[in-house]
Structure 1
Amino acid sequence: MALVSEFLGQLSLNVGSSESTYPTVVPATNFDPEKDAARIETAVKTKGVDEQTIIDVLTKRTYSQRREIAFAYERRAKKDMITALKAALSGPLETVILGLMKSTAQYDATEIRGSMKGLGTDEETLIEIVCSRSKDELMEIKTVYKELFKKELEKDVAGDTSGDFAKLLLALVQAKRADPSAVVDYEKIDEDARALYDAGVKRKGTDVASWISIMSERNVPHLQKVFDRYKSYSPYDMQESIRKEVKGDLEKSFLTLVDCFENKQLYFATRLGEAMKSKGVKEKMVTRIILSRCEVDLMKIRSEFKSHFGKSLYQTIAEHTKGDYQKALLSLCGGDD
């Protein structure tokens, strides 16, 4: 029963998050974990596996409900549900369903761990998660990371990255960002805007440390005003300044941060659009964004997607994916716009 205790032992549900949520996966009404567990057991035992039932049940329940189903399954089948699902499923559908058996924070922690394990680092995944999560989310990811892998996230990030890129990621993982305040400090806004300009465009070479401290420690509403004010000092906006001043993973990280400060849901919508614009779908990215945001803000990402690309996320997924994987993603997407 190792897997159930590993992933389901801790019920972490983004408690204390100050951000509003716009999930596409909401608690099922008239929820009966015993009945759901029986349906899953039958689906797994069926010759050829009844994937549709597994999709219908697990994509339409929240993490806490899936967790109850797993415990009910264990009581009736005397077996671990995650192990049974793993044996019954394969390919991208298996990835989606097993991903759903983790909380959002557990899923993020596992994805971060996967991006750093083995030879080479998957910087794209690392940047996307670390640079887009709120202070509350990052604090929870760190706790869960230690529970699951018996290691400190900071130590792993430091060991796997280097230079200014490592310094920025570590500053973010330390989660020192100030909480939003009802008081708007115009003097501080001006001071920070000036400091960003002085540390970058104004001088030869970039004082990256100044950029890191401002972008990792100030609250988001404050930074939005700072970037606006920045334009009165610099001939370029913040994004253009970043492109001129730094390169590589550091550039990608700063750009991700600024995009997320300005409109996080548009950032994810754009990523999904990029992942599905060609014939070869970036399956890993699509899966990661849908799974990690379906209980957070996927409803808002959907609406940003429609206004940015002129077609719905639902239609785009339907066009670019197929089979049971497609059915699972469409179900998590929660409808057409």
Structure 2
Amino acid sequence: MSELQITELQRGDEAGLAAWSDVAVAAERHDLGDNAEYWTRDELLPMLGATTGRRQFRLFSGALDGEVVAAGRMLVPLKDNLDLAEVHVAVRPDVRRRRLGSQLVRHIEGCSLAAGRTRLDAFPSWQHDSPEDGAGTAGAEFARAHGFTLTLGDIQRQLHLPVADELLERLAREAAPHHLGYELRSWAGPIPENLVVSWLELSSTLATEAPSGTGVHENDAVDVPAFRESEALQTAQGRTMWHTVALDDTGRVVAYTQLAETLRDNPFLFQWGTLVHRDHRGHRLGLAVKVANHRALQAGSDVAGRRTVTWNAGVNDHMIRINERLGFVRGARGGEFQKKLT
């Protein structure tokens, strides 16, 4: 077995990050083709070694004879889920099946234990025409071989931009009579001070309100200063955050959606959370905020030729219907895997 030389990248190491990124992107493109999602180097550099108020990001390179051939990532929440680490391992396609990924994942597991983390999350993905559970695919089989269990199947969907104005207008008109008692508000950039607490109180529950399968999940902490630090990191990455919320008659956020516009050299914009408070469902607010957010995005930015990408649990029929009405189409499959370290 070839011995992998593993190092942790340090803040400001642009050359090390370039080599790490080349491996990570090559692996994703090999497994997913045009559906491969990734962060560009400019987006990754501010994250390298960063410990925001909410999370710590750690990147690991694995080298053979001085050449980087494996890339690992570890994300550690700092305000909640204090037993959790999210992990990801990628190996350059031409050197796979030499147990290089196994060496790297064992190293990251050791780092997780050293940080007091005994619950690991991993999110491998595979082509959509593969089995729902990823049987026979590289990422899913690697996870299973290292003790991870599939807890939920996900589906990637993509929306080619721009969305036709006529479609957005029609969907907005259709939803409008059902949410007359609510105000929709859209903006780009940080969340306004008068909305941030109620936004966090709602968005922090996404982990347990969305379908979670058999996995163990905890809500995020409601911590405004820590959240502001994460917003500052997003700005440093060159990302523009687009938000639309629905406000009730007291001015509280009762529905939201969030989209990250990336730098132009990334083909994808990332659709993040969308959630309606359980006491305010049945008013088509999920459809309304998503439509309004894409209208605001297209009015404020040139996104022609790019794609919005989102992931939904395969069992989340309601959100899938909303996305398909907007024009999202299937791209890839993935899974949420968990492992308990002892």
Higher relative contact order (CA 8 A, sep 6+): 2
Higher gyration radius (CA): 1
Give me the TM-score of the superposition, normalised by structure 2. Answer: 0.28
Give me the TM-score of the superposition, normalised by structure 1. Answer: 0.28
Higher strand share: 2
Higher helix share: 1
